[in-house]
């Protein structure tokens, strides 16, 4: 099995979209494919329609299991389609890389993923890892196991700056790991009709002539819509231009097999600890800290089933309790520079949680029975949704606090077709910043759009329910 990591600390670059659809295309091409979600936001499961309530174990549990015995793939993986398996994520992943978390005190803390994948390597041809949008133990685990790295770069000005930092990071990682990790830049969200997009693409070609891929993924409505329906592009629009572009990417990746797989040497190689690595790369990491944060709040109601004895979060809590009550419990003598970095990044994440413009599982999703679930970050402000489905009445559809208290939600049953809406915040109309599917002009605000396919059930009446009443719908 060969491992490709999809890496970028900048949000909105199409990282998860690339991971999900590249995996689906590899599977369609006949490769036995494993998709590993290392992002605590767990968007891979949502993008492939894997139900929250059906997930009992996640990649977090596999990372923490006793590696003296190879973990069984069937205990941790979800079969999505023919040739495609998913190792899902959960918010408990964020606890793993905390300064006092269950990974920090392990000597192989940045090799846990490589050991898991090495145990499963005979069962798959390719593993695609969706990395978190942070710099920490989870990202280091992914890079340690990777044979090749793909960096999706949105064709915008700030993304160009971010690409330079990503390339610098990869060169530093390669030097510290003592091996070359080939990385390639994939232009995403390309719009040939915009001059900025064309200019950024040209600059990428000049600055990264050796690492820029000779093809790109353009901006396609089908990709956004496929994600909202919990489908890969191979299922939602298999003959679309978007599917063709990911086919080109998959076929290119299948040819990148000119070096032995890193997993073959996992057990034999003596590797440097992550503290030593972090001390060398600290100047570069500090430059990225503003963009290398994510919302640790759960992006869905994902829970472990009753058959799981211990969750990753429970392990973190139990280890901290043991350290406080048992003087013989193994603890770190000092947090080290890597731990200090994580602490500062998490503090920044707490301050930035409500300021994030994209991500966190917010926006709108339409279930197969035609129910649209509107979701926004928790706030003391009064929020409601207006649209053609409620006569643009700001009092008709208020957003109510969800059962877990982390968001505001409203569910509306929609007829098939296209619907327009806006979000109202304290009486002021605004666009849903988490839904990039929009229509408008330069002279007005515009509206957000929702597409409900004809095959979904339709109803004449709109029903508003609280998040607790609709906890099982997404």
Q: How many residues does the chain have?
A: 474
Q: Do residues 191 and 96 share a domain?
A: yes
> What pLDDT sits at residue 322?
41
**Beta strand 33-37 pairing with 84-87:** parallel
Residue numbers in the chain where pLDDT is lower than 70: 265-361, 441-444, 455-474
> Tens digits of per-residue pLDDT, 390-413?
999 999 999 999 887 778 999 999
CATH number of 390's domain: 2.60.40.10
Which pTM value belongs to this model?
0.58
Please check whether residue 397 lies inside any domain of the structure.
Answer: yes
As a whole number of angstroms, the distance between CA 297 and CA 359 comes to 11
What ranges in 178-240 are assigned the alpha helix state H? 195-207, 221-228, 233-236
CATH number of 245's domain: 3.40.50.300
| Cα angle 148, 154, 156; round to 5 | 140
Please check whether residue 194 lies inside any domain of the structure.
Answer: yes
Please check whether residue 224 lies inside any domain of the structure.
Answer: yes
> Tens digits of per-residue pLDDT, 324-351?
344 333 333 334 555 555 555 554 444 4
**Beta strand 126-130 pairing with 2-6:** parallel
Give the DSSP letter string of 315-352: HHHHHHHHHHH-TTS---SS-HHHHHHHHHHHHHHHHH
> What pLDDT sits at residue 345?
54
Please check whether residue 440 lies inside any domain of the structure.
Answer: yes
> Tens digits of per-residue pLDDT, 75-105?
999 999 999 999 999 888 888 888 777 887 7
> What pLDDT sits at residue 266?
65
As a whole number of angstroms, the distance between CA 437 and CA 434 comes to 9
Please check whether residue 74 lies inside any domain of the structure.
Answer: yes
> What pLDDT sits at residue 4?
95
Q: Do residues 279 and 391 share a domain?
A: no
Count the neighbouring beta carbons within 10 Å of the beta carbon of residue 158. Answer: 12
Q: Do residues 378 and 263 share a domain?
A: no
Boundary of a domain, candidates 230, 260, 288: 288
- Sign for the pseudo-dihedral over CA of 55, 61, 62, 68: negative
Boundary of a domain, candidates 288, 323, 342: 288
Q: Do residues 122 and 233 share a domain?
A: yes
Please check whether residue 281 lies inside any domain of the structure.
Answer: yes
Task: Output DSSP code: residue 233.
Answer: H
Q: Do residues 283 and 389 share a domain?
A: no
Q: Are 370 and 416 in contact (CB under 8 A)?
A: yes
* Residue 463 Rama label (left phi>0; alpha psi -120 to 50; beta): beta
Please check whether residue 59 lies inside any domain of the structure.
Answer: yes
> What pLDDT sits at residue 410?
94
Task: Output DSSP code: residue 156.
Answer: S
Q: Do residues 202 and 65 share a domain?
A: yes
As a whole number of angstroms, the distance between CA 474 and CA 463 comes to 15
Q: Are 151 and 116 in contact (CB under 8 A)?
A: no
Q: Are 95 and 101 in contact (CB under 8 A)?
A: yes
Quick one: which H or E segment has residue 154? strand 148-154
Task: Phi first, then psi: give them for residue 423, nearest 5 degrees.
Answer: -105, 140
> Tens digits of per-residue pLDDT, 102-125?
887 777 888 899 999 999 999 999
Q: Which domain holds residue 156?
A: 2-288
Please check whether residue 298 lies inside any domain of the structure.
Answer: no
Distances (CA, A) of 61 to 49, 53, 77: 21, 16, 11
Quick one: which H or E segment has residue 112? helix 112-120
- Of 83, 82, 41, the closest CA to residue 58 belongs to 41
> What pLDDT sits at residue 20?
95
* Residue 294 Rama label (left phi>0; alpha psi -120 to 50; beta): beta
Strand, coil or helix: 424: strand
Give Cβ neighbours of residue 233 (< 8 Å, ≥ 6 apart): 21, 24, 25, 222, 223, 226, 240, 242, 243, 246
| Cα angle 276, 112, 337; round to 5 | 25
């Amino acid at each position: 099995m060969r491992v490709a990591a999809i890496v970028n600390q900048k949000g909105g670059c199409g990282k998860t979209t690339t991971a999900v659809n590249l995996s689906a295309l590899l599977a369609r091409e006949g490769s036995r494919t494993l998709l590993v979600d290392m992002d605590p936001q767990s968007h891979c499961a949502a993008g492939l329609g894997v139900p929250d309530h059906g997930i009992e174990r996640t990649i977090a549990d596999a990372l923490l299991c006793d590696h003296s015995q190879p973990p069984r793939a069937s205990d941790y993986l979800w079969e999505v389609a023919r040739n495609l398996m998913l190792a899902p994520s959960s918010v408990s992943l964020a606890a793993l890389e905390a300064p006092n978390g269950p990974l920090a005190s392990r000597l192989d803390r940045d090799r846990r993923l490589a050991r898991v994948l090495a145990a499963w390597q005979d069962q798959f041809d390719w593993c695609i890892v969706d990395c978190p949008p942070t710099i920490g133990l989870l990202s280091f685990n992914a890079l340690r196991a990777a044979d090749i790295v793909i960096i999706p770069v949105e064709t915008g000005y700030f993304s160009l700056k971010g690409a330079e930092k990503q390339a610098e990071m990869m060169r530093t990682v390669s030097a510290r790991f003592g091996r070359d990790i080939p990385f390639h830049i994939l232009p995403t969200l390309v719009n040939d009709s915009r001059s900025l997009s064309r200019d950024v693409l040209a600059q990428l070609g000049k600055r990264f002539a050796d690492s820029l891929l000779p093809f790109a993924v353009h901006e396609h409505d089908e990709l956004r819509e496929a994600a909202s329906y919990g489908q890969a592009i191979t299922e939602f629009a298999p003959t679309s231009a978007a599917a063709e572009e990911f086919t080109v990417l998959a076929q290119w990746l299948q040819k990148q097999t000119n070096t032995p797989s890193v997993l073959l040497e996992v057990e034999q190689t003596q590797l440097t600890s992550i503290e030593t690595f972090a001390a060398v790369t600290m100047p570069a990491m500090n430059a990225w800290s503003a963009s290398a944060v994510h919302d640790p709040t759960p992006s869905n109601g994902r829970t472990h089933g009753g058959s799981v004895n211990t969750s990753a979060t429970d392990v973190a809590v139990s280890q901290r309790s043991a350290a406080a009550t048992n003087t013989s419990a193994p603890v770190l003598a000092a947090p080290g520079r890597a731990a200090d970095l994580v602490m500062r990044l998490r503090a920044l994440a707490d301050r930035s949680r409500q300021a994030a413009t994209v991500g966190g599982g917010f926006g709108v999703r339409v279930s197969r029975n035609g129910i649209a679930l509107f979701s926004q970050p928790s706030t003391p402000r009064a929020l409601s949704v207006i649209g053609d489905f409620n006569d643009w009445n700001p009092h008709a559809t208020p957003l109510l606090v969800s059962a877990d208290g982390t968001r505001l939600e409203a569910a509306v049953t929609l007829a098939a077709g296209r619907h327009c809406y806006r979000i109202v915040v304290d009486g002021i109309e605004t666009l849903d910043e988490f839904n990039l599917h929009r229509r408008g002009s330069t002279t007005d605000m515009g509206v957000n759009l929702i597409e409900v396919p004809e095959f979904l059930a339709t109803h004449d009446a709109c029903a508003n329910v609280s998040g607790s009443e609709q906890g099982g719908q997404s």
